Amino acid sequence: MKNLTKTTLSIIAIVFISSFFIQCKDAKDAVVTKYLDMQVEQMNKQCPLSLGGGLTLESCKVEGNRTMKFSYKIDQDIETFDTAAGKAAAVDALKGSPEIAQLKEYEITYKYEYKNASDKVIGEMTIAPDDYK
């Protein structure tokens, strides 16, 4: 009987702890979603935003649960964009940003889309949390 009581209490404890972590995960997801929505709203108020060198941020949006997508336009009619060099520069910028240091725990994925002057997509890249941690 004593073993049955210990087993029952153990099972109840495991169920309670599991439900606690599930609720915490849901709460964290809600915080991340709210943060992304606020960031996108603020950025889109500034768009189109000239970043110099013929590059303009046209828009930003949230895709899925933890993905932020940026759409850029290059004012030249080029056919390709060096996504490898672009990704390296973006990862370096994310790693060096003091703001991102606080946000690494949010595990946000960043997507970038580049269009030329004719609105043709010339490059896309994705930066996952493992890339900038």
Rounded Cα gap, residues 117 and 101, in angstroms:
34
Going 81 to 87 to 90 to 41, the CA torsion angle's sign is positive
User: What is the model's pLDDT at position 85?
Assistant: 83
pTM of the model: 0.73
Produce one character per residue of 48-72: b if its CB has 16 or more CB atoms within 10 Å, e if not. Answer: eeeeeeeebbebbebeeebebbbbb
User: What is the model's pLDDT at position 102?
Assistant: 64
User: What is the model's pLDDT at position 60?
Assistant: 94
75: CATH: 3.30.300.250
Cβ pair 75, 54 in contact under 8 A = yes
User: What is the model's pLDDT at position 99?
Assistant: 73
**Who's near 126: CB < 8 A, 6+ residues apart?**
109, 110, 111, 112
Cβ pair 114, 77 in contact under 8 A = no
Q: Which run of H or E residues covers position 45? A: helix 2-46
What domain range includes position 118? 2-132
- pLDDT tens by residue, the chain, 133 residues: 444 454 544 445 444 444 444 455 566 777 888 888 888 998 899 999 898 888 899 999 999 888 999 999 988 878 877 888 888 888 888 887 777 776 777 888 999 999 999 999 998 999 998 888 8
Rounded Cα gap, residues 58 and 49, in angstroms:
7
Total count of domains within the chain: 1
User: What is the model's pLDDT at position 25?
Assistant: 59
User: What is the model's pLDDT at position 20?
Assistant: 46
